[in-house]
Structure 1
Amino acid sequence: MVAFVHPGRHRVAVLARHGLLPIEAGIVHRLFGQARDAGGRLLYEVVTCALEPGEVRTDTDFTLNVTRGPEVLGEAQTVILPAADEDYGERPHDPIDPALAEALAFVRPEARVASICTGAFVLAAAGMLDGCRVTTHWKSAACFRAMYPHIDLDPDVLYTDNGRVLTAAGVASGIDLSLHMIRTDHGSAVANEVARSTVVPPHRDGGQAQYIRRPVPGPERPATARARAWALANLHLQPGLKEMAEQESMSVRTFTRRFCEEMGLSPGKWVSQQRLDRARQLLEESDLSVDLVADRSGFGTAASLRLHMHAELGVTPSAYRRTFRGTASGSPPPDA
């Protein structure tokens, strides 16, 4: 995981193209535009640009008046490409539009670049996804594979993070990816506050499934809600599959099936995510020793916590605390 933290306000540029899905551009402005440090200072400046300043057609019955041109991309630390309704054609290997290629040439080599939904087609055409694990909307996966067979596409996840290059599957996962980038930059406290203000879940792991064929039950209580609440309250006890199934009076087999149907991932994967989230929260917001953080988040030992954090985040607990305690409090992290 790479934290992109810069002096002053971090500039996020959104590239609006004809056929824009306006909700995806709005997500970026809404989420990044609300992020503040402990002193209430805005952490990001979000700007919108187009290939040419002027009216940009959307996929709705209104247009956007965009006053900035593509040179704005060269001034941004993060560049985000929402989807447009003409991101890919019927013929594989169509060359990228020259005006679009010229615009992307403004992007600085060190900038972070992200796509939402079929915006991934643009990054792929520009050669920016080579060597990356990426995602796009599941309905577009077959077309993407036909056009870019050399790129590692995973159509079953919400988003991917390759460090400098990130991709999100669709509208809702654009929210998840934006919160993930804010959390990477400034820690869970800042991202969670943005999520609360926007009334969205604070965290969905990128590896969660895009599409769950059987929806979560509506008015009635979800079948595994009691087990999940119990597990969250007892992470320090290292809850297992058998104990969770007992909370719902189900067999392990039935519980596992119902859990996957509701959550889009296995109970074990879900518990691992919750443990890691709890450990990150404690490292950011408390002065507990690493041993106590490991105990209270269900990892048992500091060695186990270090192993899991390094595998998932690429950092040790101590390094994570030094970085994100400083960022969340408004002070720059070491070596930022």
Structure 2
Amino acid sequence: MDTVALAVTDGMLPFELSLAHEVFGSAPDGVTGPWYRLLVCGPGPVRTGRFLLEPDRGLDWLPRADTVIVPGWADLDEAPPADLVEAVRAAHAAGARVASLCTGAFVLAAAGLLDGLRATTHWAHTRTLADRHPEVDVDPDVLYVDNGSVLSSAGKAAAMDLCLHLVRLDRGSATANAVARRLVVPPHRDGGQAQFITAPMPAPDHHPLAELLPWVLERLDRPLTVEDLARRAGMSSRHLGRHFRSATGTTPLRWLLTQRIRRAQELLETTDDSVDAVAAATGMGTAATLRRHFNRTVGLPPDTYRRTFRAREPLVGDGGRHHGPT
């Protein structure tokens, strides 16, 4: 069973801490087999906002976890506590995957885990992180960054995106989608999307893309083009691009490719369809096209991805470290 440890101390932001607890604390309905073992690790009673927490373990337990999550750190005028920084550094050295949510990136940076790596944090604090840790390549324009054993997210909702990304790596797309459904959040937002949208979002029922996006998702097996989408939406391709950027933070083609890849992941995990059949069902045309895009996006060929997640279920309880495909 994969163990997830929340590394906490006084001054942690309660929203990010609670969010991670919701994702990793219990399995969604319909998911069989052991779920994560979630532990809160801190130096005695911890105050977070107006809440007082009694940790399950001390910070010295972190090196025994498979994944360590550092929620947002509230007081950026002060350096993170030395015992927290050292415990996170020791956990990573012991082989744990370490992820920061929001301003938890300041803890990872203080531990030296982000040196020479691309990372992010809440957009309001990216300049501070870059100034304080010039050895870190701070990207203010993404939702989260996955460096393999070290990950970081922007603030609030982006922290949920990163947590779901971790579940997807560990348990597959179908399980991550089940978690998202339980929490009533979008099942996937690509980490490369913009952190925030400057134009306010209209109510979903009145947004120009409100009818278009579900229409597209029902037709992923078809060779749709930007012109097809624009025609369906009754606007020019350029106008469609502006609406997509405003609503999703990305382009129509990139959004469409992401939906095709996610559908392919689900089919590979849940059916015995051949790669050719999956390519046809996701509008990729040929197995060669699917393999090219899938490998570039997911980091694995479709056949290997299927073997990985088909083999995952009986191995969940083996007690070994397993962080998804590498």
TM-score under structure 1 length normalisation: 0.88
Q: Where does residue 4 of structure 1 map in the other structure?
A: none
Greater alpha carbon shift after TM alignment, 291-300 vs 110-119: 291-300
1:24 matched to 2:16? The reply is: yes
2:63 to 71, 74, 85: 74
For 1:115, give the aligned amino acid. Answer: S
CA 1:326–1:74: 2 relative to 1, 3 Å: same
Distance apart, 1:132 and its partner CA = 2.1
CA 1:321–1:37: 2 relative to 1, 3 Å: farther
CA 1:234–1:241: 2 relative to 1, 3 Å: same
1:106 matched to 2:98? The reply is: no
For 2:7, give the aligned amino acid. Answer: L
Taking the aligned partners of 1:101 and 1:139, their CA distance within structure 2 comes to 22
1:228 matched to 2:213? The reply is: yes
2:211 aligns to what SS in structure 1?
A: helix
Taking the aligned partners of 2:155 and 2:191, their CA distance within structure 1 comes to 12
Which runs of no fewer than 5 residues in structure 2 stay unpaired? none
1:202 to 177, 187, 199: 187
Which runs of no fewer than 5 residues in structure 1 stay unpaired? 1-8
Cα contact 1:87–1:122 (8 A) shared by 2:
no
Distance apart, 1:219 and its partner CA = 6.2
1:65 to 54, 59, 67: 54
Aligned pairs for 1:291-302 (under 5 A) are 291-302=276-287
Q: Where does residue 241 of structure 2 map in the other structure?
A: 256
Distance apart, 1:100 and its partner CA = 2.7
Distance apart, 1:253 and its partner CA = 1.3
Q: Where does residue 161 of structure 2 map in the other structure?
A: 176
Q: Where does residue 315 of structure 2 map in the other structure?
A: 332
Cα contact 1:215–1:262 (8 A) shared by 2:
no
Cα contact 2:2–2:37 (8 A) shared by 1:
yes
1:267 matched to 2:257? The reply is: no
For 1:102, give the aligned amino acid. Answer: E
Taking the aligned partners of 2:290 and 2:163, their CA distance within structure 1 comes to 26
Quote the RMSD (CA, aligned, Å). Answer: 2.0
2:314 aligns to what SS in structure 1?
A: coil
1:127 to 100, 112, 118: 112
CA 1:241–1:331: 2 relative to 1, 3 Å: same
Distance apart, 1:33 and its partner CA = 1.7
Distance apart, 1:38 and its partner CA = 6.5
Distance apart, 1:40 and its partner CA = 2.9
CA 1:298–1:191: 2 relative to 1, 3 Å: same
Greater alpha carbon shift after TM alignment, 295-304 vs 270-279: 295-304
Distance apart, 1:97 and its partner CA = 4.2
Taking the aligned partners of 2:28 and 2:214, their CA distance within structure 1 comes to 30
Taking the aligned partners of 2:74 and 2:151, their CA distance within structure 1 comes to 20
Cα contact 1:14–1:25 (8 A) shared by 2:
yes
For 2:9, give the aligned amino acid. Answer: R
TM-score under structure 2 length normalisation: 0.91
Cα contact 2:3–2:67 (8 A) shared by 1:
yes
Distance apart, 1:273 and its partner CA = 0.5
Cα contact 1:227–1:245 (8 A) shared by 2:
no
Distance apart, 1:87 and its partner CA = 3.6
CA 1:88–1:286: 2 relative to 1, 3 Å: farther
2:266 to 270, 277, 281: 281
2:98 aligns to what SS in structure 1?
A: strand
Distance apart, 1:220 and its partner CA = 4.0
User: Going by fraction, where is helix more abundant, 1 or 2?
Assistant: 2
For 2:286, give the aligned amino acid. Answer: T
For 1:311, give the aligned amino acid. Answer: R
Taking the aligned partners of 2:69 and 2:184, their CA distance within structure 1 comes to 22
For 1:83, give the aligned amino acid. Answer: G
CA 1:28–1:197: 2 relative to 1, 3 Å: same
CA 1:88–1:239: 2 relative to 1, 3 Å: farther
Cα contact 1:226–1:247 (8 A) shared by 2:
no
